[in-house]
Structure formats: C-alpha cells, structure tokens
C-alpha cells in the first residue's frame, strides 16, 4: 500500500511539473510572436534604386505610384519591418514611405546587385519624387519613423 501511495504521489508531482512546463512554453511562444520595437536609426549615404512593384513580401499588392520601398535582406528581419513608416531624404527633399517588400532579387530587377545594408529599392513613383528614373541610383538618408512592430 505504501509503494502504491508513493507511486501515485510521484505521478502527481510529475504531472504537475509537466503542466507547468507546457504552460511556460505556451507563454514563451506567445511572447516570441509579439513584435519588438526597433530603435529609430538614421542611415546616411544609403543607396536608393527603384524597382517594379507588385505583390510584395509583406503580402500586399502595390502600385508604381505608391510611396513604398523594398528593404534590403540584411535588415528585413523576417518581415518585422513590414508596414513600418520611414522618412527618406535626398537632394533637399524629404517624404515618408512604407516598407512593403524585401529586396531579395539580385540584378537589375531591383536595380541593386545584392542590395547592401541600409539600401532601399523605391517604387518608381517614389524614386521619381526625388530624381528622374534615368539617374538609376541616388544616395540619401532614411530613418524609421514608426514601426508596426
């Protein structure tokens, strides 16, 4: 009888330990899905090109006239910056745009080969706000104004 009681107590302790472990993992998963707040950083001398927009990696269809950008892969961070508003400055002009895509395609499709850190591929409408598309590449600054994260 004593052995049976000890066995039941041991099983109960193991059961409650398992329930606690599962509960802790569930809370950890919930927290890992919460978006983090990214600090506002300014990127000076960043490379800007333009590209043909469409269905972006953030899951939305975009038009060439939309003021959107594709963020370089090094900073894209699995989409954590999707829908973040950025402020772009070039040649004395400044405007806001939204991150809606990832610049993953090397070559002329995005206008930048490999799209280095801090670089952006702008929609044609946005690029035209700053310069003629004939220029191809410009260098300016940008900062994350707000994040949906």
Q: Record the pTM.
A: 0.68
- DSSP letter string, the chain: -HHHHHHHHHHHHHHHHHHHHHHHHHHHHHHHHSPPPPPP-EEEEEEEEEE--SB-TTS-B--TTS-EEEEEHHHHGGGTTTT-EEEEEETTEEEEEEEEEEE---STTTTSSS--TT-EEEEHHHHHHHS-GGG--EEEEEEEEE---
* Containing structural domain, residue 12: 1-34
Average pLDDT value for residue range 59-85: 92
Q: Report the mean per-residue pLDDT for the chain.
A: 79
Same domain, 57 and 7: no
Count of domains in the chain?
2
Same domain, 15 and 71: no
The pLDDT score that the predictor gives to residue 88 is 98
- Which of the four pLDDT bands, split at 50, 70 and 90, describes residue 32? very low
């Amino acid at each position: 009888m004593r052995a049976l009681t000890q066995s039941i107590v041991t099983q109960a302790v193991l059961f409650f330990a398992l329930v606690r472990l599962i509960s802790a993992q569930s809370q950890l998963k919930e927290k890992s899905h919460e978006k983090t707040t990214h600090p506002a950083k300014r990127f000076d001398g960043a490379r800007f090109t333009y590209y043909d927009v469409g269905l972006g990696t953030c899951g939305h269809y975009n038009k060439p006239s939309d003021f959107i950008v594709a963020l370089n892969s090094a900073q894209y961070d699995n989409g954590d910056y999707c829908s973040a508003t950025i402020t772009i400055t070039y040649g004395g002009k400044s405007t806001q745009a939204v991150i809606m895509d990832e610049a993953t395609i090397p070559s002329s499709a995005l206008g930048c080969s490999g799209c280095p850190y801090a670089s952006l591929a702008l929609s044609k409408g946005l690029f035209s706000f700053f310069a003629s598309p004939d220029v191809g590449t410009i260098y300016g600054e940008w900062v994350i104004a707000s994040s949906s994260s």
